[in-house]
Structures are given as structure tokens and as C-alpha cells.
Amino acid sequence: MSAAAGVPDAIPGRRPADVVGSLLRRGGWTLGLIGLLVLLLLATKLIQPSYGLRGIQGLAISVLPLALVAVAQAIVVIAGGIDLSVGSMMALTSVVSAVLMENQSEALSIAVVIGVLVLGLVVGAVNGILIVVTRVPDIVVTLAMSFVWAGGALYILNTPGGGSAEWLRQLTLGSVGIEWIPRAAVVLAVVVAVIWIPIRRSRMGLSIYAIGSDPVAAHRSGVPVTRTKVIAYMLTGLFSALAGLSLTASTGIASPVPGPYTLLSVAAVVLGGVSLTGGRGGVLGPIIAVVVLSLLRTDMTFLNLNPNLATVAQGVILVGVVMFGSLLQLRRSRA
């Protein structure tokens, strides 16, 4: 019984050591990303010795909307879809929240926040239902709907404006407990822990992975495929609304023009180890990927690189990392 990892699949049943190995393999991509992040932080400190507490806090605040939208994109990609309207949904929910909250009481602003989250769910449901009912590919439907939601945002507010409740602004500023833990990071962790983790652990979460992995097998296993897909899109809408709210909170106003968030979210999902064909990955990888991407940009600024070149470099690094990953996978499947 000197069975090692290389034993062919003909003998099912393995020892605990192999189970640890498999855990490492499955979480390997995320661990690698964390390693990359640590290296980047060290590099940042080398390039800019004054980078410290304030840098970390600034990073957390600037990363929050992008991290939330990366989670949004990750959920729908895991379910085998893709949502190109997340940026527009962010703009729409941000504008609605800023317009309704401007100069309003605290109590009302809480109602507005809840209302905006519901709006996110509804908008996501519209995307999902259109895809399921018309059977038009996800990418086409969400691209079309991105214009609808962006247009809606501009209709409500045609120049940047509105306001944010003070408590919402404070939610992302400063730190919690010791000053090295930025409040924005805690907010992110709490939101993901409260919404995504219970779902992930339930049959609903399994179903989301199942329909992304193999819709036919999922159907045969008794999973309601279309309903699950709509729910995945609703969750994406919900997290996009959270991202929109965090935009309002961090800037104090809302802009009706969608930022570069849609494509960045796809990049973060890919870099975060979520398979674009669905069924594989998690939300932690994309969140770390977002931090990595932002930090890269910061470093390039510190290095006084031409910002246009910095964008080129970002793209090259993205392609490089993803290619490295698929090469690893190819080698493993051949071994």
C-alpha cells in the first residue's frame, strides 16, 4: 500500500494524506494568488518606503466596489453564464440611492438602502428571466440590457450628483479594532459571509455549481435548471447593487456613467481562478484578484510609468497569469 498521488483512478479510496493533497490542489490557485499579493505588497514597500497604514486603507476603500462587483460576476460565471451589465447595474443603483438619499433623514436612508438592494434583485431577475425565456445567449442579453440600465441611470440623473447618508459614508472609512484592519475590508467580509456563504453551503449553492458544470446532468439530478439560473442572476444583481451603494458611499455622490467595472470584473473572475465555462472556482479568488490588479496599478504609478503603458502591462500580466494557470492544468491532466 505505497499508494501515492500518481496511482490511476482504477483504485478508488485514498488515505488522509491524499485528501490534504487534494485540498491543496483545489485551493492552490487561491493560495498562489495570496502569494502573489504578498510579493506585490513587499514590492510596493520597496518602491515606496512610505507606503503603510494609509496606503492599505486607501487600497481597501478603492477596492470595495470592484471587489463586490467581482463577487457578482463570479456567481453568475460559476452558474455557467456571464453578465455584461454589472457596470450599468452599479450605475443605476448608485444613482437611485444617491438621488433618494440626498438630504434625507437617517431612518429613510435605511429604507432607501433596502429598496436599492431589492432593485438589484429585480434588475438581476429581469436579466435572468430574459435569458431563460428567450434562450438568447447570456452575453447578448446582458450586453443589450447594459444599455437599458445605463440609459435608465442617465434618465434619472444626467450629471453626477445626489448625496449619501452620513452613516453609509462612515461605513467604509477608517478601521475596526486595531488600525490595520480597514473597515471597508470588514464590510466586504461581512457582506460575503452573510449572503454568499449560507447559499454556498445550501442545496441552492450546489445547484448553482451544478448547472454551470453540466446542465444536462443537473437536470437529470432533479435540479430546476432555469429557476436556479434566474436566482444566480438575481444574486449578481444584488451584489451589483451593493457595489453601486459602495460607490455612492465612498464618493458621497453618484455618477450616471458606468465605470470600467464590467470588464474589470470579468478580468478579476478569470484571474481569480473561476472557469469561464462554469462550475469551478469561488468568490475568494476574484476578491484577491481585484486587490492584486489595483495594487499593480498603484505600483506603476509609484514607478512613474506612463499610465497608458501601465494599462498595457496590466493586460500582459493578466494574459500571462491565466496562460500559466492553463499550462499547469494541461500538465496535470497529461501526467
Partner 1 sequence: MTATATDLLLEARDISKRYGAVVALRSASLAVRPGEVHALMGANGAGKSTLVKILTGTVRPDGGTISIRGRPRTIHSPGEARRGGLVSVYQDPALIPDLDIWSNLRLTATPLSPFREWLTELGLERLDLSRTARQLPLASLRIIDLARALAAEPDVLMLDEMTAALPANLTERVLEVVGRQRGGERCVVFISHRMSEIASVCDRATVLREGRTVGVVEVTARGAAERIVELMLGEILGDIPAQPEAAARGAARAGGETPRMSARGLSAGTKLHDVSFDLYAGEVLGVVALEGQGQDELFDVLSGSDRPSGGELLVDGKPVSFGHPADAIRLGAVYVAADRAEALLMQRSVRENIALPFTTRLADWGVIDVRQERRKVDGAIERLQIDTRAQREVRRLSGGNQQKVTIARWVAGGLRTMLCFDPTRGIDIRTKHQIYILLRDLAEAGAAVLLYTSELKEIQIACDRAIVIYGGRVVGEIDAAHADEESLLRAAHNLPPDAPTPEELAAEAIAAETGGGPAAGAPAADGR
**Binding residues for partner 1 (CB under 8 A):** 9-14, 18-19, 22, 203, 206-207, 209-210, 212-214, 216-224, 279-280
**DSSP calls for 79-127:** TT---TTHHHHHHHHHHHHHHHHTT--HHHHHHHHHHHHHHHHHHHHHH
- Looking at beta carbons only, is 169 or 200 nearer to partner 1? 200
- Looking at beta carbons only, is 160 or 224 nearer to partner 1? 224
Q: Quick one: cell of 58?
A: 486607501
- Looking at beta carbons only, is 23 or 190 nearer to partner 1? 23
Q: Rounded to the nearest whole angstrom, what is the least distance from the CB of residue 78 to partner 1 in the complex?
A: 9
Q: Rounded to the nearest whole angstrom, what is the least distance from the CB of residue 37 to partner 1 in the complex?
A: 25
Looking up cell 499550462 gives 327
Q: Rounded to the nearest whole angstrom, what is the least distance from the CB of residue 209 to partner 1 in the complex?
A: 6
CA distance 204 to 199: 6
**DSSP calls for 50-83:** T-SHHHHHHHHHHHHHHHHHHHHHHHHHHTT---
Give residues with Cβ within 8 angstroms of 69, minimum separation 6: 86, 87, 90, 239, 240, 243, 261, 264, 265
- Looking at beta carbons only, is 220 or 331 nearer to partner 1? 220
Q: Rounded to the nearest whole angstrom, what is the least distance from the CB of residue 211 to partner 1 in the complex?
A: 9
Amino acid at 236: T
Q: Rounded to the nearest whole angstrom, what is the least distance from the CB of residue 170 to partner 1 in the complex?
A: 40
- Looking at beta carbons only, is 37 or 206 nearer to partner 1? 206
Q: Rounded to the nearest whole angstrom, what is the least distance from the CB of residue 269 to partner 1 in the complex?
A: 16
- Looking at beta carbons only, is 280 or 297 nearer to partner 1? 280
Q: SS3 for 223?
A: coil
